[in-house]
Chains A and B, each alone.
Chain A
Amino acid sequence: MRLEYFQMIDQVASREGDTIIVESRIPDASPVFEGHFPGHPLMPGVLLVETMAQASGWLLLDLMGFARMPFLMAVKEAKFRSFIGPGTPVRVHAKRLHDGSGFAVTETRIEADGKRITDAELTFRIMDYPAPELAEAMRGRGRELGLL
């Protein structure tokens, strides 16, 4: 993970049907941990949500052949069950629950050492890429992740 660049996903572990499993590692150090919290560094819940959103996003991009872009629009039933801190490896599971017209819904969770850390249901609006640079950036990162 590179928290300052919002790059939350290190690699794709598996991709089958409507599901994806990705792996990532919370960095050992980041300015984020200087504030959250002094003397007691913890991965912020909002960044765990972002991590689940990105895992879901790569799943949806792959399911759409990278033709359109998913944007997070709703977070439901988010639960933060355990704290995790710097240096923790995590596995992020995402499954497409629904393929709607112009939107999609995923069910996603983060696990560390086999234990569920957080889970949520996420809704994405599916739109045409608003800028060609974004389309190219997503496809470029998709290639790095082995999805293209």
Chain B
Amino acid sequence: MASSFDRIADIIAENSEVTRDKILPDSHVINDLGIDSLDFLDIVFAIDKAFGIKVPVEAWTQEVNAGSAPAEKYFVMKNLAERVDELVAAKAG
């Protein structure tokens, strides 16, 4: 099976105007790829369905806004893929 990074990158390419080749492990979903909040929720919906999880976007956003976590922890592609893997593992656990 493709890596989580590849699956998420494919989802982003399918649900936004970003082409697949522009989506790299160090790409910041918002700052580099320019995904807006509406497209991002479509992407989260697709990730939720594809991985059978509920990505806690609200909690992540609150952490970033409160300064308790850097945005990169959740919104840089390679880290986003790690967070998704953690959610999948936690659900299976």
Interface-facing stretch out of A24-32, A84-92, A94-102? A94-102
A98 touches B42 (CB 8 A): no
Q: Is B67 positioned at the interface, with any CB of A under 8 Å from its CB? A: no
Given A73-B41, A123-B41, A123-B42, is A101 in contact with B49 using a C-beta cutoff of 8 Å?
Answer: no
Any B CB within 8 A of the CB of A116: no
Which of B45, B59, B61 makes the CB contact (< 8 A) with A100?
Answer: B45
Cβ–Cβ contact A100 & B54, under 8 A: yes
Cβ contacts under 8 Å, B57 to chain A: 100-103
Return A47 CB to nearest CB of chain B, in Å. 23
- A76 to chain B minimum Cβ distance, whole angstroms, is 9
Q: Nearest chain B CB to A62's CB is how many angstroms away? A: 20
A74 at the B interface (CB under 8 A): yes
Question: Do B56 and A101 touch across chains, with their CB atoms under 8 A apart?
Answer: yes
In whole angstroms, what is the CA distance A74 to B44 when docked? 14
Q: How far is the CA of A102 from the CA of B55 in the complex (A)?
A: 10
Known: A73-B38, A74-B38. A98 touches B58 (CB 8 A): no
The answer, yes or no, to whether B48 is at the interface (CB within 8 Å) is yes
- A32–B93 CA distance with the chains assembled, in angstroms: 56
| Cβ of A42 to closest chain B Cβ, rounded Å | 30
- B55 and A123: CB pair below 8 A? no
B45 cross-chain contacts in A, Cβ below 8 A: 98, 100, 103, 105, 123
Chain B residue numbers with a CB within 8 Å of A99 are: 54
Contact A101 B44 (CB under 8 A): yes
Q: How far is the CA of A74 from the CA of B54 in the complex (A)?
A: 19
Shortest beta-carbon distance from A64 to chain B in Å: 13
Q: Is the CB of A100 within 8 A of B42?
A: no
A70 CB to closest chain B CB, in angstroms? 13
